[in-house]
Amino acid sequence: MCVRGFSRMKSDPWAQASRARSRDRWAIAAARWNCALTDALIEAANIPLEALVLDVACGSGEPALDILQRFPSSRVIAFDTSAPGLVLASEKCRSAGVSSRVLFAQADVHSLPLRSESIDRTTCRFGVMFFEDIRRALSEVRRVLKARGRVALLAWGPFEQPLFESTMAIVLKSIPGAQLPSFSRMAHRFASPGCLSAELQKAGFQDVSERAMVLPRIWAGSAEELWEFQQEISIQFRPLLGEIPETLKSKIDTEVTARLEHFRSGEALNIPVQVVLATGAE
């Protein structure tokens, strides 16, 4: 698959079991949590039937797995810097019977271990905000794209939106002197209109476009479970969550779950999220 010096991830049994238990715990409730986000990203990427797709910052396997399932003749190379996420991603693909068409490996987007002009499409869902050197990273993405290749990037909109105002903003206001962690602030660095598309243009991409979108996140469970899920999976807010004093925990939990319950629609919670979707062509 045109990858230099990388082999498939070898699963660590302990890590694999731990991640599998966590995934199974939330599998039903979170089944549609990212669906609208993934749909928008894949549609924007305009993936050909027999494409070789690079998914950057693939986390625990999305949207790589969706791409493989929707395009049976496609192949995917999926990179992330986190080994535990890659183990879980590999397991998901084995369970889905698509592991022969995907390669998971640890790699840095700032120095992609791929031949130039070898990739048809590149996708990245909620990873581009954390690239340390955005110009260098996007230049690398452009380098590996074939002529007429395409990149699609999904980033967070502003922090001031329903999901965060109903969760982390409550934590912030409840703890005297608490501040949003710097890593969390980075998550919203492309919220201002035109910021992300400007970076694509600086990297040399053509036909650049950017859209601010409001998409639904569906949680098929209780508000209490969603708050527990958010605390368990959150990386960017972990330092803030760690500051919650035991004496305030019950109060914060009650307020957060009450706010989340406002999004109740039948048996699920339907929370609108504001995102930025940008695309560019080689």
User: CA 42 from chain center: how many Å?
Assistant: 13
Domain membership flag for residue 260: no
Q: Note whether residue 234 is domain-resident.
A: no
CATH number at residue 114: 3.40.50.150
pLDDT score at 1: 56
Q: Which domain holds residue 70?
A: 13-159+185-219+273-281
Output the pLDDT for position 6: 42
Measured CA distances, 73 to 51, 70, 100, 101 (Å):
7, 9, 11, 9
Q: Is residue 35 part of a domain?
A: yes
- The number of distinct structural domains making up the chain is 1
- pLDDT exceeds 80 at position 241: yes
Is the pLDDT assigned to residue 259 strictly greater than 50? yes
pTM for the whole structure = 0.89
Q: For residues 150 and 44, give the distance between their C-alpha atoms in angstroms, rounded to a whole number.
A: 9
User: pLDDT confidence of 84, banded at 50, 70, 90?
Assistant: confident
